[in-house]
Amino acid sequence: MSTNELWSHVKPGPPDAILALSDMYAKDTSENKVNLGIGAYRDEHGKPWILPAVQMAKEQLVHDPQANHEYQPISGFPPFTAAACRLLFGEDAASIKEGRLVVNQTISGTGANHVGASFLQHFYSFPTEDKKIYVTDPSWPNHYAIFKAVGLTPTSYPYYDASSRSLAFDKMMSALNDMPDGSVVLLHACAHNPTGVDPTEAQWREMADVFAKKHLFAFFDSAYQGFASGDPAKDAFAVRLFESRGDIGMLVCQSFAKNAGLYGERIGALHVVTGSKEQAEAVGSQLNLIVRSEMSTEPVYGARIVAKILTEPEMRAEWDRNIQTMSQRIIQMRHALFDLLTQRFKTPGTWNHIVDQTGMFSYLGIDEAMCHRLVTEGHIYLVKTGRISMAGLNPGNVEYVASWIDKVVRERANL
Ligand code: LMR
């Protein structure tokens, strides 16, 4: 068989809804182009930002003879895993103190989602044969791809109310109550991607009661700790609440892509809360088998950086300031966009959601046709669901973006 015959049946797959925008943006020669597609922080000049805390860690690592290139244990670089779980659950978490928490370093949040879902696929007693995992409607599109790839059946549950542009709390609560006992439910720990809409602390408490009552398993994705409020401890509220109750089965996928600006280093962790030290050992050994067969051991550079910024006081203080810088700049851009739309352009519709939403994204509430015009005519790249990465806005482009939103909204409504 010739090479030509071997692959002639393979048809091109669809481009990735988010990453393809970056390619289109790179090829666009317009001077006005703006990338609001991918969730990656940009500084006030639209440039990638190496966090000063990360820079400090890197400079130390260059001269550190211990920072060699040896393989790490399958579960990851120990100083990293020890610090990462404390950032997430807090210093006093019972599962850490009692040795019931299993932590595995992963290839960022995506790897944590994958290894976590794969572990459940093998070992969790799903209530239905098709192994459903309930996913917020909407969610990060890759959740669906990751869960399907390991043999789970992702199914959506109500989360966002498009008409009020807020949390569909009542609908979500009845959906949780109607799920078969023991169902697995994906929760975004904070800064929901793509809507920027999170439950309040009181709502999280009500949700936790339902999880306990119905033995629902909480599959947390924590990709934005620090980005919602500027305070990593505050953004861990839901995770810490669920863990501290001791009556909810849970795992947490953690990423340092956004909050440490380590997108390309692929550094994250999977945390599984178990009932005892013995269980933790058994679960850990099974996670290690999954990791060993797929990537053998994890890359160490990002882990060394994060371990330093979490454990060395000077770097930790700098990192806390860096998170504030990022989250505050995003909040300023929310207000700048909101003010331009409501006061300068007097754009038809309500825009309060832009300032009410939290984290890296705003779900604008504009339709696919309007998004298409923004991309093709305005050279403003955004996902076709109307999600924009607020971090792509800066003082130099926010007025241009607002003017185009105003234009497509008015022309769509024939105003
Ligand atoms: C996003 O949602 O834009 C980010 O999480 C990047 C990605 O991998 O999709």
263 close to ligand 1 (CB < 6 Angstrom): no
Positive or negative, the CA dihedral 231, 50, 83, 221 is positive
- Residue identifier of the C-alpha nearest atom 4 of ligand 1: 39
pLDDT band at 412 (very low <50, low <70, confident <90, very high): confident
Tell me which of 49, 140, 204, 351 is the catalytic residue.
140
The answer to whether residues 167 and 192 belong to one domain is yes
17 close to ligand 1 (CB < 6 Angstrom): no
225 close to ligand 1 (CB < 6 Angstrom): no
Judged against a pLDDT cut of 80, whether residue 367 lies above it is answered with yes
pTM over 0.95: yes
CA of 193 to the centre of ligand 1 (A): 8
Q: What is the CATH number of the domain that holds 352?
A: 3.90.1150.10
Catalytic status, residue 258: yes
39 close to ligand 1 (CB < 6 Angstrom): yes
Judged against a pLDDT cut of 90, whether residue 3 lies above it is answered with no
Contact 363/39 with Cβ under 8 angstroms? no
140 close to ligand 1 (CB < 6 Angstrom): yes
pLDDT in tens, 143-186: 999 999 999 999 999 999 999 999 999 999 999 999 999 999 99
| Structural domain that includes position 278 | 71-311
The answer to whether residues 124 and 98 belong to one domain is yes
The answer to whether residues 141 and 288 belong to one domain is yes
CA of 152 to the centre of ligand 1 (A): 21
Catalytic status, residue 407: no
pLDDT of residue 36: 97
The answer to whether residues 201 and 254 belong to one domain is yes
What is the spatial distance between Cα 342 and Cα 347, in angstroms, rounded to a whole number? 6
What's the mean pLDDT in 191-209? Answer: 97
> Which atom of ligand 1 is nearest the CA belonging to 16?
9
Contact 36/393 with Cβ under 8 angstroms? yes
Does residue 323 lie within any of the structural domains? Answer: no
The answer to whether residues 288 and 402 belong to one domain is no
The answer to whether residues 342 and 401 belong to one domain is yes
What is the spatial distance between Cα 159 and Cα 171, in angstroms, rounded to a whole number? 7
Catalytic status, residue 140: yes
Strands (E), 310-364: 361-363
Does residue 3 lie within any of the structural domains? Answer: no
Q: How far from 259 is each of 40, 51, 101, 109, 239, CA to CA, in Å?
A: 10, 9, 23, 12, 17
Does residue 187 lie within any of the structural domains? Answer: yes
355 close to ligand 1 (CB < 6 Angstrom): no
Judged against a pLDDT cut of 70, whether residue 102 lies above it is answered with yes
pLDDT band at 115 (very low <50, low <70, confident <90, very high): very high
Structure tokens at 133: 């995992």
The answer to whether residues 37 and 125 belong to one domain is no
pLDDT of residue 338: 98
- Point out the domain boundary residue: 311, 337, 372: 311
Helix (H, G, I), strand (E, B) or coil at 138: coil
CA of 400 to the centre of ligand 1 (A): 24
- Point out the domain boundary residue: 278, 311, 344: 311
pLDDT band at 377 (very low <50, low <70, confident <90, very high): very high
Judged against a pLDDT cut of 90, whether residue 69 lies above it is answered with yes
pLDDT band at 1 (very low <50, low <70, confident <90, very high): confident
38 close to ligand 1 (CB < 6 Angstrom): yes
The answer to whether residues 156 and 91 belong to one domain is yes
pLDDT of residue 415: 63
Tell me which of 131, 258, 308, 351 is the catalytic residue.
258
Tell me which of 33, 204, 221, 319 is the catalytic residue.
221
Percent of the chain beyond pLDDT 70?
100
Task: Give the chain's domain count.
Answer: 2
Helix (H, G, I), strand (E, B) or coil at 191: coil
CA of 39 to the centre of ligand 1 (A): 5
pLDDT in tens, 220-241: 999 999 989 999 999 999 999 9
CA of 63 to the centre of ligand 1 (A): 33
Judged against a pLDDT cut of 80, whether residue 248 lies above it is answered with yes
Judged against a pLDDT cut of 70, whether residue 68 lies above it is answered with yes
Does residue 414 lie within any of the structural domains? Answer: no
Does residue 106 lie within any of the structural domains? Answer: yes
193 close to ligand 1 (CB < 6 Angstrom): yes
Contact 116/291 with Cβ under 8 angstroms? no
Does residue 255 lie within any of the structural domains? Answer: yes
> Which atom of ligand 1 is nearest the CA belonging to 223?
5
Does residue 322 lie within any of the structural domains? Answer: no
Q: How far from 269 is each of 108, 168, 256, CA to CA, in Å?
A: 7, 30, 9
pLDDT of residue 314: 98
Contact 160/167 with Cβ under 8 angstroms? yes
CA of 195 to the centre of ligand 1 (A): 13
- Residue identifier of the C-alpha nearest atom 9 of ligand 1: 18
145 close to ligand 1 (CB < 6 Angstrom): no
What is the spatial distance between Cα 281 and Cα 295, in angstroms, rounded to a whole number? 21
Query: In the predicted model, what is the mean pLDDT of the chain?
Result: 97
pLDDT of residue 40: 95
The answer to whether residues 353 and 262 belong to one domain is no
H-helix segments, 28-180 = 52-62, 78-89, 94-97, 108-123, 141-149, 169-178
What is the spatial distance between Cα 16 and Cα 50, in angstroms, rounded to a whole number? 26
CA of 18 to the centre of ligand 1 (A): 7
Q: What is the CATH number of the domain that holds 104?
A: 3.40.640.10
The answer to whether residues 38 and 179 belong to one domain is no
The answer to whether residues 250 and 383 belong to one domain is no
The answer to whether residues 180 and 279 belong to one domain is yes
Judged against a pLDDT cut of 90, whether residue 114 lies above it is answered with yes
pLDDT band at 44 (very low <50, low <70, confident <90, very high): very high
- Point out the domain boundary residue: 311, 343, 365: 311
How are beta strands 267-273 and 361-363 bridged, if at all?
A: unpaired
Does residue 62 lie within any of the structural domains? Answer: no
pLDDT of residue 413: 80
Percent of the chain beyond pLDDT 90?
97
Half-sphere exposure of 337 (CA within 13 A, CB side): 32
**Radius of gyration, alpha carbons of the chain:** 22
